[in-house]
Amino acid sequence: PKKVRTRHFQTAKESGIKITGLTSYDMLTASIFDEAGIDFLLVGDSAANNVLGYDTTLPVTIDDLIPLARAVAGAVKRAFVVADMPFGSYETGPDEALHTAFRFMKETGAHAVKLEGGVRSAEQIRRIVSAGIPVMAHIGFTPQSEHGLGGHVIQGRGDQVTQLLADAHAVEDAGAFAVVLEMVPADAARQVTQALRIPTISVGAGPHTDGQLLVWTDWAGFTAGRIPKFVKQYANLRQTLTDAVLAYRADVDSGAYPGAEHSYDD
């Protein structure tokens, strides 16, 4: 299959073809999603919540994410792989940001990096792009600043659309090839999508963007407990695995497993 490149994101927007993304943190899901035709895989710092067991994305480190990004990048044939830069790995300035981006590109085989922030991260994006590394931007609700934003709060409502548009233009001008809009009202996301040349990717930003992205564990019904309103669950993996465990326990208890077909002869 022909590899997805940044130019395909651009031509998708220009021709009205939607872009589909999922997160992935390991080689098994990466290979399944890739073979089934997902355009891009994000090795999100949401691995904090979905792999490492943290309550927020703040504690996750570059060293935590590198092996996961390597596993995903190594498993794909077609999909474009984006490595998320964690909290505390780019905010001090363009030098730190480029250093972090180099680590992901050299040590994982990912095709691009992602970082959070609009106007506040524009200089970092500009420097990374100038080194030949594609950057996916991320504005709207940015989980790494959830304490500053006062929790999981929708961004870009009412007058805030002015700031959202300023952030969107800032990342486009800085050279980002695409921008994620997270938890933004559908109409605000439509305005951003019309205003920009680069594609917009929705995570809870409604239907008017150029593409969609979901956290795979939410999308597959693997996550325990509450999932955000914007997620559509396409499977119920948690129930499927629970049922499998119950059946396995019952078979071990009853002696139905292992049978002769699962045992070795002398």
The residues of the shown chain that bind ligand KIV, judged by CB under 6 A, are: 23, 42, 44-46, 84, 138, 180, 182, 203, 213, 215
Q: Alpha-carbon torsion 216, 69, 81, 154, what sign?
A: positive
Instruction: Evaluate whether 110 touches 71 at the Cβ level (below 8 Å).
Output: no
Which of 107, 146, 182, 261 does the annotation list as catalytic?
Answer: 182
Does residue 45 belong to the site contacting Na ion (CB under 5 A)?
yes
Q: From the list 34, 39, 84, 218, which residue makes contact with Na ion (rule: CB under 5 A)?
A: 84
Q: Is 26 annotated for ligand binding?
A: no
Residues near Na ion (CB under 5 A), total: 3
Dihedral sign for Cα atoms in the order 111, 114, 118, 123? negative
**Does 182 qualify as catalytic in the annotation?**
yes
Distance CA(237)–CA(50), nearest Å, equals 14
CB of residue 68 to ligand KIV, shortest distance in Å: 11
62 binds, among Na ion, ligand KIV, none (CB under 5 to 8 A by kind): none
Could you tell which of Na ion, ligand KIV, none binds residue 215, using a CB distance below 5 to 8 A set by kind?
ligand KIV
Shortest approach of Na ion to residue 84 CB, angstroms? 4
CA–CA separation, 14 vs 175, rounded Å?
17
Angle formed at CA 169 by CA 179 and CA 23, multiple of 5 degrees: 10
Rounded CA gap, 248 and 71, in Å?
A: 29
Name the residue with the smallest CB distance to ligand KIV: 44
Residues of the binding site for Mg(2+): 45, 84, 116
